[in-house]
Structure 1
Amino acid sequence: MKSFIVYLVSLFFCLAQINCFHFYLEGGEKKCFYKELVEGTLLVGKYRVEPYENQGALNKEKLGVNLYIEEVFDNDHRVVNQKGPATGDFTFTALDSGEHRICLQPQFGGWFAKIKTKTTFDIEVGDNTILDSKKTNEIQSLNERIKTLNKKLDLIKKEELLIREREREFRDTSERVNSKAVKYSIIQVIILFSIGFYQLHSLRGFFVKQKIL
């Protein structure tokens, strides 16, 4: 009973375990890690291989990785044999319970070159439902952020419409005021000309009566 409780506790701590580390490898060298996986456990990994410091004129596009996953408990039965670029990821679901070996082997141009590489390896081990729920939560969080951004965009659009409406009202008011000012100026000019003409006509009549003209 005690061993069973210990097994459950260790299983609980392994439900969502994350490991991130980096190491250095010579050309053609293989690095392996051992994980005790329960049937149905999902393993998610990310890796990045890059030349260590100055490796001369190295074509980084030719740098790749061989990934192996083997079932140690089943005479090292290889269940994953994957070749990929220098940066990538992978997922693996354990078909049976037992110890598994995860190996990374950098390669250059299809043949192992004598170059030193720095490899960053990040793995997450957990139950399918837990990891799926985490992904679902991330998606929901992204959806919430998108909704928030959409609301902010709608608010900005409404503010822009309000500003445009005020600008239009101000422009219409300015045009009405300018139009009225022009009309008043024209009326004033007409009145001034009329007063001047009337005064000239009156003075002419006065001079005629006085026999000055």
Structure 2
Amino acid sequence: MQTLTFVLSFYFSLSTAFYFHVGEREEKCIIEDIPSDTLITGTFKIQQWDIRRQDFLESAPGLGMFVTVTTYNDEVLLSKLYGPQGRFYFTSHSPGEHIICLESNSTRLVSFGGSKLRIHLEIRVGQRDLDAGLAQAKDRVNEVSFKLEHLIEQIEQIVKEQNYQRDREEDFRMISEDTNSNVLWWAFVQTLIFISIGIFQMKYLKDFFIAKKLV
């Protein structure tokens, strides 16, 4: 497999579109110097050479593009097979040069011949396209909606917990009042018992002394 490599330097938030010619299963790599935590968006399209027309076809059905993104530390950020046209994303984790390699698959299963390919490629550094931005905004709206629903559920759960604690406090207050009331009545009963016992003891002692003729 032949590999052709060239270097492109982009500034932050710059979009560059170009095309190049390769053969089937020929890999071409682009080296970009990217800041850390920077979003990279790539859009590509494959056109195949038609021998009969002596021109490139508008599309290349049956072909695919294998995209690999690595750093010079051999960290793989992306490795995925796409169709004849597509869009890929990756985010740099550290500043430095990143290698974006594109390689088409074979056309052995394609009905028309030709091994010469034209690859249209657009690289966006630090930005997304409008469609992706709208999709991301929709995802964010869905995420915010989900978080809002979750927050409402949490608030409802907190209200339920507060009501439950309030009911428990009310039950505890009623039990405390009943206990205090019972203690008060028990103290009153004990007082009556002690008074009754005292009266009984005094009467018993008086009768005892009278019986013994001590008084």
TM-score of the two chains, using structure 1 as the length reference: 0.48
Name the structure where helix makes up a greater proportion of residues: 1
Higher relative contact order (CA 8 A, sep 6+): 1
